[in-house]
Structure 1
Amino acid sequence: MTLVHRVLLALALLVPAALPVHAEAPARGQAGATAHPPGAAIASAHPAATEAGFEVLAKGGNAFDAAVAVSAALSVVEPISSGLGGGGFFLLHDAASGRDVFVDARETAPAAVTSERYRGADGKLDSDRAQNGPWAAAIPGLPAALVHVAERYGRLPLSESLAPAIRLARDGFPVYGRLERGYAARREVMERYPGTRQAFLIDGKPMREGQILRQPDLARTLEAIAERGFDGFYRGPVAKKLVAGVRAAGGQWTAEDLAAYRVKEREPLRFRYRDWEIVTAPPPSSGGVALAQMLNILSAWDLRGLDPAARAHLTIEAMRRAYRDRTFYLGDPDFVHVPVDVLTSPYYAAGLRATIHPEKATPSDALSGLPTPLEDEETTHFSIIDAEGNRAAVTQTVNLLFGSGLVPPGTGVLLNNEMDDFALLPGQPNAFGVMGYEANAPQPGKRPLSSMTPTFMLSPDRIAVLGTPGGSRIITMVLLGVLGYDDGLGAQEVAALPRFHHQWWPDVVLAERGAFDAATAQRLRAMGHTLDLPEDNVSGRASSHVWGNLQTVMWDLRSGTLQAGGDPRYRESSAQVRQMEAAAAP
């Protein structure tokens, strides 16, 4: 950390604590707080998951029942991205009470974890152990979240909300191209483990597009959760198989690790940007804090009035500063002090803004290393608004493609590799090229820092729900989505926005094809930015691929209409609006 950075933080700490940081919710426009949407909208990464949500709504469920159904269905049809062996964040809004809640189902480190277990003979991070197999896997949180959300906020029993996912796992679904490609990329790791081969090979061979993938063990695990709730996964026969499978592969999970898992309800992070109230993810997500920092920095400029190069330059510089603070300060708030009020303060943002030159890039602290790798298909997000105005923004993940690659035999549960999201060795980058220090060091029961950023946006005229996968790029994609809605774009236009990213280290701007026109790219380079663009066809880095899979829904209070936007980068994206009656609460 530079001297300038320390001084800025010290100045920020002098801000009187009594000064408000968060604002109250804005008025809901002429529609009023009691108005209901004309139907329901769901945007997810797969049509079978979207259909599962509408099926549950048609049975009298609310947005929270639908969130359980969509989440579980994605766990079946998108094992490349998420599943029962992973975790996630559920940002929920209850229309009747006006309450927002953040359900933290992030995975936790098992009791046997120490940093030394991930150090290779050369003293460096053993990436294979951190990313593959039993030591890569943290204790899953998603099954506990499904139970928690259904029991506390839903109307239907788990047997109803999990029925579509059970059916999909038992009867199967057609393999799509993205799933086939993902398996091919991870085949060497996946086929190390007998349970994984049993779960994903079809007639003894790698899956191919158009084949039907059936997962009977996963169906039985889902049935156990539907019948026994928390104990159906974290205690009893399924738990015994999970522990046995991890230990047989060389890991050290225990029955106590599983039985001790609990979701955490946290207060969402709130702040204002222009006419919007933003409700988003608090730590252990880094997303909400970074989003607040970036938008607070940018709030002083009329971005809509700037030319493309100037707008991109200021946005990149805001990204650079937020990701720098992410490296040093963010972690699990149950284990470390996270200075959220300082980092999200407009006064702190003013100090950071003062260091931005309007015509020159600020060099990041020079650190050598690898480029940010490709990550678009790992992690998934869905957004829901129901006919009563309840909302759900849910991002869930197993981390990298197919997580750790390990399925404990007899469970059908593909385990995550979230241990790589810890700062396993201080100052050494993980699979996404981001680093961390003591705040994100692993400890038993601790939750690794995440970039998942499920978000609500509220103005007098519109209410939007959005989020995306994308590893360390999640936060900047949500930032660009927020700016798109502020520009007046619709849901589908926001989902289609071109994307660019800077994460402080390495000091390079990555972008999708077409994110910058030639004149804008030339001017950014003249300002001192290092651009890695697919148009250059030089490095072959991750920037040669599309990013993320943003899913968003929006309620226009002025017209009384709903919109749903699915990311056009993937043909499986499914964004739908349907007319539905608002069911009376029991």
Structure 2
Amino acid sequence: MLKRIPFVFSLLLCGLLAMPATARDSRPAHPPGVAIASAHALATEAGLEILREGGNAFDAAVAVSAALSVVEPVSSGLGGGGFFLLHDAKSGRDVFVDAREVAPQSATPARYLDAAGQLDQDKAWNGATSAGIPGLPAALVHIARKYGRLPLAKSLAPAIRIARDGFPVYPRLVNEYAERKPVMERYAATRAVYLADGDPPELGETLKQPDLARTLERIAAQGFDGFYRGPVAQDLLAAVKADGVEWTADELAAYRVKEREPIRFKYRNWDLVTAPPPSSGGIALAEILKILEGWDLKSLEPAQRIHYEVEAMRRAYRDRTLYLGDPDSVRIPVRMLTSDDYAAGLRASILPDKATPSDMLPGTLPPHESVNTTHFSIMDADGNLAAVTQTVNLAYGSGMVVGGAGFLLNDEMDDFALKPGTPNAFGVTGYDANAIAPGRRPLSSMSPTFMFGPDRIAVLGTKGGSRIITSTMIGILGFDAGMDSPQVVALPRYHHQYLPDTITEEPGALPEDVVAQLQAMGYRVENYTDPLVLMHAVDWDRRTNAMHAGADPRNPVGEGKVVVSP
């Protein structure tokens, strides 16, 4: 049994697997060990356990993903979806596995309107009407079978054990339950899990999920059919029907993950590989960073640098709303949006000493997803990489547990533009490119990213809704400035998303004199009381052959330490 290390949220294991240098290159060909950074100790340990048993980064990704689905129901789970960015070191191939939820056949715009034709927010946020067909279970099966070394059952074993034996309740589970209590307690199956002892989860209690353990066991034994057909599928269909929604067995069985070509672009000396649509992250990152390449950011005073960064953010988020959606349903001008010429044109519209009011740029309000996602980063001793972001949208998703199966359904339908021009849960909207339709995948900001430099490789990503993109940008700039993962994940963060026309900063992120200078340029700056995002990153410096793993110190679960082990 792997010894548990409490409150370890990122882990670095240095082994004795470095390869001899070649005559042409004195730098090592492979990392000296493995690195994992995730949001929970038990998930990190699950990944390490699988690596110790001979698995690769992709097997470990399955283990970490499944474990997070057990210990972070507030952020992700089998009833949700995610994006898996993978790099195979032997072939050099990068692949993006899209496990985003899809709108069921019954999901049409009219379903989300009340009698007066206005958006019915309860249907968009809560219960079966808010849910899409889950994608995460299909991704676990697909990745294990196509890219892993170990049987799926082996990689799911840690999550099954944690679900069956339980884990200690931590503050975020308690706090978010209190926020979602009225919705959570509507459903008998939710009450059976979270009120099993008669009251809501309390700090330090052990949360056991035997039904979820059995669902994971079915997936381990039967693969895709263990979730999308058979008893689990029957439980799922019955649960949504009891809440007034019709899904069909055929549409469940028809769900498929999609392998997509990542977005690739250069920033200075780095080759970046990141998320394509239905993520907006890769295109927005390319647009922002290509605009910023026109200035030597390191030589600028802080206020001037932030001014240029915010103006680049503003323009990318405007384009996000106008152009981006499900690539299988809408035409997206990827080449134009990620081109140097387009960036140069946008750069030319930025004044050196004055903010551009967002209402001067044609466009609409951008979507803004929930902060309740989770991200993890993995590098193994062969140089394989995994950057994974997964979610159920709002805290505890739809609030509805599927009776008999033990998992919470997502509420991703709110990430569509359910009514053009009408704000979603976070006060922002979308239009035709992200309109709801059966079979479509909603737009997302999840931005798992790889960075390949002459001497360094980094894997990073964050949770945090629409703030994921800007925080990933800050992380990329940190690595470009020579920082390692622990330094990058601790960087202060600020955000602008076109509308509302406001710079949002974490407490103390911007010095008072910088805020005053930005205000003099015409910016409105607001302080956000909670962390904007939580980032998890790993990197390998080939010059020193050192590996680093960084877990965000803002993590409310615990300390966010890095452990080094021989």
**Deviations along 1:144-183, whole A, 9 cap, x unmatched?**
0000000000011111000000000000000001111011
1:383 aligns with one of 377, 381, 392: 377
CA offsets 1:300-341 (integer angstroms, 9 cap, x no match): 101011011001111110000000001110011111101100
Instruction: Give the equivalent residue in structure 2 for 1:555.
Output: 540
TM-aligned CA deviation for residue 124 of structure 1: 2.3
Displacement, 1:279? 0.3
Following TM superposition, by how much is the alpha carbon of 1:579 offset from its aligned partner in structure 2, in angstroms? 6.0
Letter in 1 for 2:538: V
Q: 1:31 to 1:89 in 2, by over 3 A?
A: farther
Native 8 Å contact 1:40 1:579 kept in 2:
no
**Secondary structure at 1:558's aligned position in 2?**
coil
8 Å contact from structure 1 (residues 40, 577) kept in 2: no
- Using the TM superposition, give the Cα deviation of residue 123 of structure 1 relative to its aligned residue in structure 2, in angstroms: 2.4
Q: Residue 256 of structure 1: CA displacement?
A: 1.5
Which of 32, 40, 44 is the equivalent residue of 1:38? Answer: 32
SS in 2 for 1:365: helix
**Superposed displacement of residue 125, structure 1:** 1.6
Report the CA distance between 1:429 and its aligned residue: 2.2
Residue 17 of structure 2 corresponds to none
Match of 1:472 among 466, 483, 493: 466
After TM superposition, the runs of 4+ consecutive aligned structure 1 residues lying more than 3 A away are: 29-32, 366-376, 571-580
Secondary structure of 1:394's match? strand
- C-alpha separation between the residues in 2 aligned to 1:527 and 1:260? 53
Where do residues 168-567 of structure 1 align in structure 2 (5 Å cutoff)?
A: 168-365=162-359, 375-376=370-371, 378-533=372-527, 543-567=528-552
1:376-403 Cα offsets, whole Å, 9 max, x none, are 4x00000000011000000000011011
Instruction: Give me the whole-angstrom Cα distance separating, in 2, the residues matched to 1:574 and 1:149.
Output: 28
Question: Aligned letter for 1:88?
Answer: G
TM superposition shift of 1:368: 13
CA-CA distance at 1:234 after TM superposition: 0.2
TM-score (norm 1): 0.90
1:520 Cα deviation after fit: 0.2
8 Å CA contact 1:374–1:545 kept in 2: the answer is no
* SS state at 1:481 partner: helix
Contact 1:36 1:389 (C-alpha < 8 Å) held by counterparts? yes
Question: Counterpart of 2:475 in 1: which secondary structure?
Answer: helix
Q: 1:368 to 1:341 in 2, by over 3 A?
A: closer
Contact 1:85 1:414 in 2 (8 A): yes
Which stretch of the first structure deviates more once superposed, 282-291 or 197-206? 197-206
- Between 169-178 and 250-259, the greater mean CA deviation after superposition: 250-259
Judge conservation of contact 2:303–2:518 (CA < 8 Å) in 1. yes
Contact 1:235 1:259 in 2 (8 A): yes
C-alpha spacing 1:148/1:201, structure 2 compared with 1 (3 Å): same
Distance 1:368 1:321, change over 3 A: closer
- State the 1:572 CA deviation: 3.6
Aligned-pair CA distance for 1:434:
3.2
Amino acid at match of 2:43: A
CA apart distance, 1:97: 0.7
Structure 1 residue 433: deviation in Å? 3.3
What is the TM-score when the length of structure 2 is the normalising length? 0.93
Q: State the aligned residue count.
A: 541
Q: Does 1:51 align with 2:36?
A: no
Distance 1:485 1:103, change over 3 A: same
Task: Note if contact 2:321-2:363 (Cα within 8 Å) is conserved in structure 1.
Answer: no
Aligned to 1:143: 137
Cα distance between partner residues in 2 of 1:31 and 1:179: 48
| CA drift at 1:261 | 0.2
Match of 2:59? 65
Cα distance change on mapping 1:120 and 1:421 into 2, 3 Å: same
Aligned equivalents of 2:425, 2:315: Cα separation in 1: 21
Match of 2:160 among 163, 166, 186: 166
Query: Partner residue of 1:583?
Result: none
Amino acid corresponding to residue 520 of structure 2 in structure 1: A
Q: Equivalent residue of 1:468, what SS?
A: strand
Tell me, in whole angstroms, the C-alpha distance in 2 between the residues paired with 1:323 and 1:195. Answer: 39
Instruction: Report the Cα distance in structure 1 between the residues aligned to 2:524 and 2:152, rounded to whole angstroms.
Output: 51
Check conservation: 2:450, 2:459, Cα contact below 8 A.
Answer: yes
2:169 and 2:206 in contact (8 A); partners too = yes
SS in 2 for 1:465: strand
What RMSD over aligned residues (CA atoms) do the two structures have, in Å?
A: 1.9
- Structure 1 residues 44, 200: closer, same or farther in 2, change over 3 A? same
Matching of residues 83-94 of structure 1 within 5 Å: 83-94=77-88
Deviation at 1:488, TM superposition (A): 1.1
Which residue identity lines up with residue 173 of structure 1 in the other structure? F
SS in 2 for 1:415: coil
CA drift at 1:577: 6.1
8 Å CA contact retained: 2:267, 2:293 = yes
Instruction: Give SS of 1:525's match.
Output: helix
Contact 2:364–2:429 (Cα < 8 Å) also in 1: no
For the residues of structure 1 that align with 2:249 and 2:425, how far apart are their CA atoms? 29
Amino acid paired to 2:338: T
Measured in 1, the distance between the counterparts of 2:448 and 2:198 equals 38
Q: Report the CA distance between 1:120 and its aligned residue.
A: 2.1
Letter aligned with residue 544 of structure 1: T
Deviation track 1:128-152 (CA, whole Å, cap 9, x = no partner) reads: 1101111100000000000000000
Q: Distance in 1 between matches of 2:310 and 2:359?
A: 15
Task: State the alpha-carbon separation in 1 of the partners of residues 26 and 105 from structure 2.
Answer: 51
- How many Å separate the matches in 2 of 1:380 and 1:553? 15
SS in 1 for 2:246: coil
1:325-363 CA-to-partner distances (Å, cap 9, x unmatched) read: 011100111111011000011100111111100100000
Q: Distance in 2 between matches of 1:492 and 1:202?
A: 39
How far, CA to CA, are the matches of 2:68 and 2:128 in structure 1? 23
Residues 178 and 30 of structure 1: CA distance in aligned 2, closer, same or farther (over 3 Å): farther
Say which of 114, 120, 131 aligns to 2:125. Answer: 131
Q: Tell me if the contact between 2:367 and 2:430 (Cα under 8 Å) persists in the aligned partners.
A: no
Deviates more, 1:233-242 or 1:199-208: 199-208
